[in-house]
């Protein structure tokens, strides 16, 4: 098969070398965007009278036919045509003949592929933002159901202080809010047209780059043709934002995996998001949570891969850029599916409220409450801290808890202690009273949820 760029060459590559250099196995994912970009480009060529209206209409009609065949899965892409651009151009030539060659006037595959990726990522990031919003809505709904559900709060994975489970879920809501903000901030740099930069230096034809940008729905254009064809920052930014997003999902999954273990028994995941064992009949494994935790690594890899590809590239275009697409496609698919699974997993998750509360009553997570109580009685906090520390050690040695110590024994150590101490030591009271702004107190959690609902609406 004669290559569309073959005029300069009298030799011929072996098939395995052609296969190594080809990208059609993965960049066919850009077929829709490639046709979309071509339609805008040919309209611009007609608008600027670079080609005639008749030629332009013939090309447009041909592209629409190719588009219909793409929709109907009737196109067969070939390695011989290397990439999506040459494949589409070949299909167009089959539809309308030699006039198809005029489509590539004032355009290079360099600005063409960059345009395709901007169009693709713009659409995908907007879709990912919608999925983040859906997950945030699920988190708010589940948090509202669990405002007064008491659970242990942890530091160093050790019981620290009792908190509201709704408060814990709203922490992830805040993380996802920042993830959404980062994706939204990425959009202006994605929403920029490189079309018309040609190979690297622009073109001698009297093109109208703003016309084609408007046709494609871009809000701006690249101001420098070298930058236009060599920039992959917008993809790196997306991969970076996705890595942070996946890190947040992975942290949440780690907690879910712990919470549904026999040792914790805080939650139970739906059968839809769990699997069994081929040998152990009793098993119910949180495989979807584990997979999301694992897939975080591949998204990190996609980011590091493209950073490494681009770190030593001179301006402008280099064949290395062929390696910019698979990681982008992979991350898009991973993030989309992970968000959908997380939303479903949390929406259907059953919460063992009684067991969560019980786990805060057979520990020393109320030690800070006792120290704070002593401080309100005029004892310096550092002294109160030491007193409580010694009481905790005594309880551990005697096999009881702070709320089990008789009032008389407390008063022998600190005479100012009164009967109201025991209410202060209850987990419910401890959580309810933490009403500092952003704290775990029930009123504060309700406030967070109200603010979240306003933001989502």
- pLDDT at position 182 is 98
C-alpha to C-alpha distance for 429 and 442, rounded to whole angstroms = 10
- pLDDT at position 120 is 98
C-alpha to C-alpha distance for 369 and 361, rounded to whole angstroms = 13
Give the CATH fold of the 359-443 domain.
Ribonucleotide Reductase Protein R1; domain 1 (1.10.40)
Give all strands (DSSP E) within 6-74, no chain letters: none
Which tokens belong to 269?
């995941």
- pLDDT at position 15 is 80
CB atoms within 10 A of CB 158: 10
CATH code that applies to domain 16-105: 1.10.275.10
Rounded to 10 deg, the angle between the 53-71 and 84-96 helix axes is 120
- pLDDT at position 17 is 81
C-alpha to C-alpha distance for 98 and 94, rounded to whole angstroms = 9
Up-side HSE of residue 398: CA atoms within 13 Å toward CB?
11
- For the whole model, what pTM was predicted? 0.93
In a structure prediction context, what are the per-residue pLDDT tens digits for the chain, which is 457 residues long?
555 555 555 556 678 787 888 899 999 999 999 999 999 999 999 999 999 999 999 999 999 999 999 999 999 999 999 999 999 999 999 999 999 999 999 999 999 999 999 999 999 999 999 999 999 999 999 999 999 999 999 999 999 999 999 999 999 999 999 999 999 999 999 999 999 999 999 999 999 999 999 999 999 999 999 999 999 999 999 999 999 999 999 999 999 999 999 999 999 999 999 999 889 888 899 999 999 999 999 999 999 999 999 999 999 999 999 999 999 999 999 999 999 999 999 999 999 999 999 999 989 999 999 999 999 999 999 999 999 999 999 999 999 999 999 999 999 998 989 999 999 999 999 999 999 999 999 999 999 999 999 999 9
CB atoms within 10 A of CB 434: 23
Task: List the catalytic residues.
Answer: 156, 277
Q: Which of 228, 244, 241, 225 is nearest to 118 (CA)?
A: 228
Q: Which of 35, 23, 29, 28 is nearest to 59 (CA)?
A: 35
- pLDDT at position 277 is 86
- pLDDT at position 59 is 98
Residues 6+ apart with CB under 8 A from 162: 150, 151, 152, 153, 360, 365, 366, 427, 430, 431
- pLDDT at position 10 is 59
Rounded to a whole number of angstroms, the distance between the first and last alpha carbons of the chain is 56
Residues 6+ apart with CB under 8 A from 295: 246, 334, 338
- pLDDT at position 1 is 54
C-alpha to C-alpha distance for 310 and 316, rounded to whole angstroms = 11
- pLDDT at position 64 is 98
196 φ/ψ angles, rounded to the nearest 5 degrees: 105, -10
- pLDDT at position 16 is 78
Each domain of the chain, given as residue ranges in start order, spans 16-105, 111-353, 359-443
Q: What is the DSSP letter of 350?
A: E
Check if CATH label 1.20.140.10 holds for domain 111-353: no
- pLDDT at position 8 is 59
């Amino acid at each position: 098969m004669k290559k569309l760029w073959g005029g300069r060459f009298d030799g011929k590559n072996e098939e395995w070398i052609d296969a190594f250099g080809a990208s059609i196995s993965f960049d066919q994912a850009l077929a829709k965007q490639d046709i979309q970009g071509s339609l805008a480009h040919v309209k611009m060529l007609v608008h600027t009278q670079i080609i005639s209206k008749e030629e332009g209409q013939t090309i447009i009609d041909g592209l629409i036919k190719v588009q219909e065949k793409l929709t109907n899965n009737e196109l067969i892409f070939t390695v011989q045509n290397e990439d999506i651009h040459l494949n589409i151009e070949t299909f167009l030539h089959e539809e309308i003949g030699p006039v198809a060659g005029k489509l590539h006037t004032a355009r290079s595959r360099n600005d063409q592929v960059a345009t395709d990726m901007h169009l693709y990522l713009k659409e995908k990031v907007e879709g990912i933002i919608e999925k983040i919003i859906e997950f945030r809505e699920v988190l708010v709904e589940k948090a509202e159901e669990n405002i007064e559900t008491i659970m242990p709060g942890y530091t160093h994975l050790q019981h620290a202080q009792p908190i509201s489970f709704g408060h814990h879920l709203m922490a992830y809501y805040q993380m996802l809010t920042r993830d959404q903000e980062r994706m939204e901030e990425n959009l202006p740099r994605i929403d920029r047209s490189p079309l018309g930069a040609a190979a690297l230096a622009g073109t001698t034809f009297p093109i109208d780059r703003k016309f084609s940008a408007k046709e494609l729905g871009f809000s701006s254009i690249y101001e420098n043709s070298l930058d236009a064809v060599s920039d992959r920052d917008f993809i790196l930014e997306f991969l970076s934002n996705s890595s942070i997003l996946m890190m947040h999902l992975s942290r949440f999954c780690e907690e879910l995996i712990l919470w549904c273990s026999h040792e914790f028994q805080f939650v139970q995941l739906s059968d839809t998001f769990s699997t069994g064992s081929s040998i152990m009949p009793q098993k119910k494994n949180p495989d979807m949570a584990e997979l999301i935790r694992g897939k975080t690594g591949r998204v990190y890899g996609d980011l590091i891969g493209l950073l490494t590809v681009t770190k030593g590239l001179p301006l402008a275009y280099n064949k290395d850029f062929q390696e910019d697409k698979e990681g982008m496609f992979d991350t898009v698919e991973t993030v989309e599916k992970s968000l959908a699974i997380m939303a479903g997993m949390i929406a259907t998750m059953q919460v063992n409220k009684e067991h969560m509360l019980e786990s805060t009553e057979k520990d020393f997570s109320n030690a800070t409450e006792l120290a704070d109580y002593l401080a309100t009685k005029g004892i310096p906090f550092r002294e109160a801290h030491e007193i409580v520390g010694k009481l905790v050690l005594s309880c551990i040695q005697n096999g009881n808890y702070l709320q089990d110590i008789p009032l008389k024994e407390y008063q022998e150590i600190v005479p100012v202690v009164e009967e109201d101490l025991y209410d202060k030591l209850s987990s419910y009271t401890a959580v309810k009273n933490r009403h500092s702004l952003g704290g775990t107190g029930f009123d504060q959690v309700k406030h967070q949820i109200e603010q979240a609902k306003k933001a989502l609406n």
